[in-house]
Amino acid sequence: MTVKKGKFITVEGGEGAGKSSNLAFIRDLLEQSGIEVVFTREPGGTALGEDIRDLLLGHKHTGMARDTELLLMFAARAEHLARIILPALNAGKWVLCDRFTDASYAYQGGGRGIDMSRIGALETWVQQGLKPDLTLLLDLPIETGLDRAGQRSEPDRFEVEQRAFFERVRATYLDIAQAETQRVHIVDAAVPLTQVQQQIEQVIGQFIQENSNA
Ligand code: TMP
């Protein structure tokens, strides 16, 4: 894989963690520092990837086998890497992505119970060593998140899952954060938005400082 020049930042979190508004906040922080940012999401980010997203999140294929779900996530990811993420990083742009492979470990591994080593094999194949440089995990108790998410529109194919599923998702995210303290920063997303943003500003500010001359 070609040498990476830009920085790759991902944002993860459970239901109702305030991902959308916090992503917009991070994007503003980066752009205010003069960084050119490609803002994208998974599953999705390309025309093909967005079609795969519709298959994954819609209710047309309710009984989808869990391996199919995992493979579709990585199919969308392969397309996203080839067409958007790698070209941007190689051009020196920063990429800010709403979810990435940590979500596959959390949802398909923790949530659905797929063996983590299978996910690892796909990660190695599809990413060939590429990992985010920085990941913000917006963490909050399941109850609080579901209360917030419940106030929004029609639930998708993941949002209809039971509480125990989301507990496993959260536990897996926290395991990853504990195993990769350099890359993954936990943000307490249960506090009011201004306090969440203060935490984000600190992490992003430091990351920009460390990488502005890189
Ligand atoms: P969201 O980005 O709007 O939160 O919705 C994407 C959904 O897809 C979310 O429920 C998490 C799920 N997902 C996975 O299960 N595995 C993955 O690898 C990714 C990227 C997302």
Q: Cα–chain-centroid distance for residue 146?
A: 18
Residue 151, CA distances (Å) to 26, 134, 138, 157 in order: 24, 30, 19, 17
Task: Provide the CA 16 distance to its chain's centre, in angstroms.
Answer: 14
**pLDDT of res. 23:** 98
Q: Tell me the mean pLDDT in the region 38-63.
A: 97
- Kindly report the protein residue whose alpha carbon is nearest to atom 10 of ligand 1: 158
How confident is the model at residue 1, as a pLDDT? Answer: 47
Contact 141, 190 (CB under 8 A): yes
Q: Is-contact 1 128, C-beta < 8 A?
A: yes
Residue 179 has pLDDT above 50, yes or no: yes
**Paired tokens of 48:** 């093909």
In a domain, 166, yes or no: yes
Q: Which of 13-17, 23-27, 117-121, 128-132 has the lowest mean pLDDT?
A: 13-17
**C-alpha 43 to ligand 1 mean position (Å):** 6
CATH of the domain at 71: 3.40.50.300
Within-domain flag for 2: no
Residue 83 in any domain: the answer is: yes
Tell me if 3 is assigned to some domain.
no
This prediction has a pTM of 0.96
pLDDT of residue 12: 98
Mean pLDDT, the chain, integer: 95
Per-residue pLDDT for 20 more than 50? yes
pLDDT of residue 154: 86
Answer whether residue 158 is part of any domain: yes
Q: How many angstroms separate the CA atoms of 44 and 170, rounded?
A: 22
Q: CA torsion sign, 22 to 40 to 85 to 49?
A: positive
pLDDT of residue 9: 98
Pocket of ligand 1 (CB under 6 A): 41-43, 73, 98-99, 103-104, 107-108, 158
Report, as an integer, the average pLDDT of 189-193: 96
**Residue nearest (by alpha carbon) to ligand 1 atom 13:** 103
In a domain, 129, yes or no: yes
Strand partners, 107: none
DSSP 137: E
Query: Best of 56, 68, 99, 126 to mutate for ligand 1, by most ligand atoms within 8 A of CB?
Result: 99
Helix, coil or strand: residue 14: coil
Q: How many domains is the chain built from? A: 1
DSSP class of residue 132 equals -
Instruction: Give the mutation target among 107, 142, 148 for probing the ligand 1 site: most ligand atoms within 8 A of CB.
Output: 107
Q: How far apart are the first and last CA of the chain?
A: 19
Residue 104 counted as domain residue: yes
